[in-house]
Amino acid sequence: MRQFDVFKSPASWRTTRPYFVIIQHDLLLTLPQIAIIPLVKPEYCTSQLKRLHPILPVHHEHFVLSTHDLSNISVRDIRGRPFATLKQHATDIIAALDMLFSGI
């Protein structure tokens, strides 16, 4: 488990938010809760704020980073191996967090 890894969401989320991305730095992954952002299907995100909600590819599909839904999940609830990584989109993810926290 590493920063920007993508995992399948818990079953109760999967209809609209099939995946989530870990945003917590690798040095802090030993904590019992991990900071995440859900990846939502584009039809469930009506936001026009592209910097806050970038569209990111996950295995030949596109999902919206639902930055305003920033949350955490217990390490115990993260199942299996990472489904993908968004490390190559780290700049977009960090820019979305900057927009959320500082408006820039």
Q: How much is the pTM?
A: 0.93
Question: What CATH number corresponds to the domain at position 45?
Answer: 2.30.30.110
Domain count across the chain? 1
The DSSP 8-state label assigned to residue 36 in this structure reads: E
Q: What is the DSSP string of 6-41?
A: EEEPPGGGTTT--EEEE-S-GGGTTSSEEEEEEEE-
Name residues of the chain where pLDDT drops below 70.
none
Output the pLDDT for position 23. 97
Domain span at residue 81 reads: 5-102
Render pLDDT for 21-43 as a digit per residue (tens, 0 to 9): 999 999 998 999 999 999 999 99
Q: Across the chain, what does the average pLDDT equal?
A: 94
Output the pLDDT for position 79. 84
